[in-house]
Structure 1
Amino acid sequence: MATNQATLESLSTEVEQRSPVTFEDTDSRDDEMEAEMGAMIDDLIAAADEARESDVFQQWLDAQAAFHDYSSRNAMLIKMQKPNATRVAGFHTWQNEFDRHVKEDESAIWIWRPNTVTSHKCPQCGNAPSYHEWNDDLACDRAGTDPETWEIDPNEEWEKGEILCGFSPAPVFDVSQTEGEPLPELPTDATGDAGELFEPTIAAGEALGYNVEAVPASEWNRPEDGFCRYDDPATIRAKVETHAAAVSILVHEIAHAELHSPSIDGQEEAARELEAEAVAYVVSRKLGLDASGSAFYVAAWTDDEPEEIEERLDRITSTASTIIDAIEAER
C-alpha cells in the first residue's frame, strides 16, 4: 500500500540517518544479511510507489560508484555496515598485497563470498552433476535426476572447471581500518579531468564493439543530446558541448547498447532510460566527474516485483563495471 508524503519524508530521513548495521552473531549472520538487503529493496519499492526521487536509490548508486568491482548485493552490505567506506579488501589481501595491517579491535564488514567446486560441467546446463539431483528447476533434461542413473553419451564433452555452488559470509575491512604503507593513487580517483576522459570513452565504446561518434554542437541537428541505434553493431552518437557532458552522454548511450534492444513499449522505455542514466551516474562518479545534475526516479519500476528490481540493480552494476574497466583500459 502506498505511503503518504509525511511517511515518505520520514523514510528519507531515516535512511539518511540509519545507523550502520553489524553481523557479529555467527549463528544468525546469514539470515540477517538477507533480511537487511530485503529491507533495502523494500525502501526502493516504497519510493517507487510515490513516484518520487529516491534518496535510497541515490545512496545505492553512490555505493556502486565506490565499489564497482562488487556485486550490487555486496555494495549494499558494505554501505549498510560502514557508510563511509572507500576501499575494502580481505585481511590477508591488505597484508600480502598492500603491506597494510588491520588495526586491533576493528569489526569486520561482512559480504557474500562465492563458493565454487571443481567438477565436470554438464554440457547442456553447465552445472555439476550433483547439482541436478536436488534442483528440479534447471533448464536441463537431467534436472531432478540422480547422476548415478545417467547413461552418458561418450560423444558429449564434459569440460572440467570451477562451478558456483553457493555463497557464504566473508569478512573484509575498509582502508580506514588498516595502517601501514600508503596506497597508490588511482588515476580514476585523482582528477576526474573530462578532457582526459573524452577520447578514452569513445575508444572504450569502440573496444566494446560499437560505432561511436562525438558530434560538435554546431553540427548537431537532433532534439535529444545523444542516441543509440540498435544496428549490428550498434551506432552511438553524442552531442559535444563540453567534454564532461559528452562523456556522460556517451556512457548513457553505451549502456543502452550493452543492456537493451529496440523492442520496447512506452512503460519499459522509461524503465530502461533509468537503467542507462543510473549506469552513467555510477561511471561518472567513479571517474571523478560531477554527476550532481542527475535525478533518478524509480517510478518506472513501480509495477516490478522485488526480484525484478534486484535483477535491474545487478544489470546496472555489471554494466557500469564493464564500461569503467573499458575506459580505464584506454586511459
Structure 2
Amino acid sequence: MKKSTLAREEKMNMIQEKLEAGTKEIFTTEKYKTYISTMAKFPEYSINNCILIASQCPTATLVCGYKKWQSEFHRTVNKNEHGIMIIAPVKYKADVEELVYDENSKPVLDEMGKQKKKIVNREFQSFRPAYVFDVQQTSGEPLPTLATMLEESVEGYEQLKEALILISPVQVSFESIEGSANGYYSPAEEKIVVREGMPQLQTIKTLIHEIGHVELKHGSEEDKFDRNTKEIQAESVAFWVAEMIGNGLDTSEYSFGYISGWSKDKTVPELKENLDLIKETADRISRKLETVLSKVKTKDYSEEKEEEERNIRKKSR
C-alpha cells in the first residue's frame, strides 16, 4: 500500500474516532449547550462536520478553507495556525467491468455460452480529510457586517411572536394552564397552547419548543420516541433556533442535566440519529422563520393573511 494512501486511511480513522467521541461527549457532559450553540452557526455543514468543528474548536464562528479565505474574504491564515479537520466529499471516475444484459434484463451470452462483460466508466464518491480555519485564525480585511434577525429585542418581540404563530403548522393560542407546564402541543386537537402572561423570552422559547414537537411529528403514527427523548429533541430545537436568531435570545438557563441519564445506555448511532433530526428540524424552522419575519417587518405577510381571510369570509357567505 502506498504511503500516501496509508496516511489518508489513518486520518480517516482518526476522524471516525473523533466523531464517535464527540457524539458521545455531546450527550454525556455539560458541554451540550456549547456544542449546540457552535453547530447552530454552521447550517451548511453536515452534522458530522459540525461535530468535528465543535469538538476541535468550540469557539468557532465562521470557518472556511485556506484558499476561500483569500479569494472571497481577502484574508490570510495566520502563521503556525493548525487547521480544523473535517470530511470532504471527493468524486472520481474509474473503469469497471460489468456484466452485459439485453433490453429485457436477460444476460447476453458469447459464443461459448458465458455472459458477456464490458468495461464502463463510472463516477464514484469517496471522502478525504480536509482542513478549515476559523476567522480568529486569520487576518485581513474586515468581514461584512451580518445583520441579526432582530434589531431590538423589546421592539422585535411582537414581530417574532407573530412570525412564529404564522409558521406554526397548527393553531396557536395563549391561555391559562393548570400545573407547571409552560405550554403543550395536542396532536389530537392539532393545536399549541402557550401559558399566557409569561416573560417575553420564555414565551418565545416555549413557542419554538412546541412548534418543534409538531415539526418532529411527535404524537403521530411515525413517532417512535419515548417522552424523555421527545422533550430533549424539542428543547434542543428551541435552543438551536434561538441561537440562530441571536440578539440576546439566550435560553441556556434551561437545564439539560437529565440528558446524561437518558443517553448513557444509548449507542453512538442512536445519538447521531437524534442530532441529525435536531439539526434538520432546527434548520427548517429557522428558514421558515427568516422568510416570514422579513415579511412581517414590512407588513407584507400580515396584509396577505388579511386578504386571504377576507376571501374566505366572502366564499362562506
Which TM-score applies when normalising by structure 1?
A: 0.66
Alignment of 1:276-291 (within 5 A): 276-288=234-246, 289-291=249-251
Deviation at 1:317, TM superposition (A): 1.4
Q: Is it true that 1:256 corresponds to 2:213 in the alignment?
A: yes
Alignment of 1:162-311 (within 5 A): 165-188=125-148, 193=153, 195-200=155-160, 202-204=162-164, 206-207=166-167, 210-215=169-174, 219-223=175-179, 224-230=181-187, 234-240=190-196, 241-263=198-220, 268-288=226-246, 289-296=249-256, 297-298=258-259, 299-311=261-273
Aligned-residue CA RMSD (Å): 3.4
Residue type of the alignment partner of 2:176:
W
Q: Which has the larger radius of gyration?
A: 2
Residue type of the alignment partner of 2:200:
H
Deviation at 1:261, TM superposition (A): 3.0
Q: Is it true that 1:34 corresponds to 2:9 in the alignment?
A: no
With 101-110 and 256-265 compared, the bigger mean Cα shift is at 256-265
1:228·1:236 contact (CA, 8 Å) conserved in 2? yes
Aligned counterparts of 2:163 and 2:149: Cα–Cα separation in 1: 20
Aligned mate of 2:32, from 57, 60, 74: 57
Deviation at 1:96, TM superposition (A): 3.0
Shift of the 189–221 alpha-carbon distance from structure 1 to 2, 3 Å rule, reads closer
Tell me which residue corresponds to 2:281.
Answer: 319
Higher relative contact order (CA 8 A, sep 6+): 1
Q: Percent identity?
A: 30
Shift of the 228–222 alpha-carbon distance from structure 1 to 2, 3 Å rule, reads same
Shift of the 197–116 alpha-carbon distance from structure 1 to 2, 3 Å rule, reads farther
Alignment of 1:48-87 (within 5 A): 54-87=29-62
1:188·1:328 contact (CA, 8 Å) conserved in 2? no
CA-to-aligned-CA distance 1:40-66 (integer Å, 9 cap, x gap): 234356x3xxxxxx3132332232233
Aligned counterparts of 1:150 and 1:115: Cα–Cα separation in 2: 33
Name stretches of at least 5 consecutive residues in structure 2 with no aligned partner. 1-6, 106-122, 295-317
Aligned counterparts of 1:311 and 1:148: Cα–Cα separation in 2: 39
Aligned counterparts of 1:185 and 1:310: Cα–Cα separation in 2: 34
Which TM-score applies when normalising by structure 2?
A: 0.69
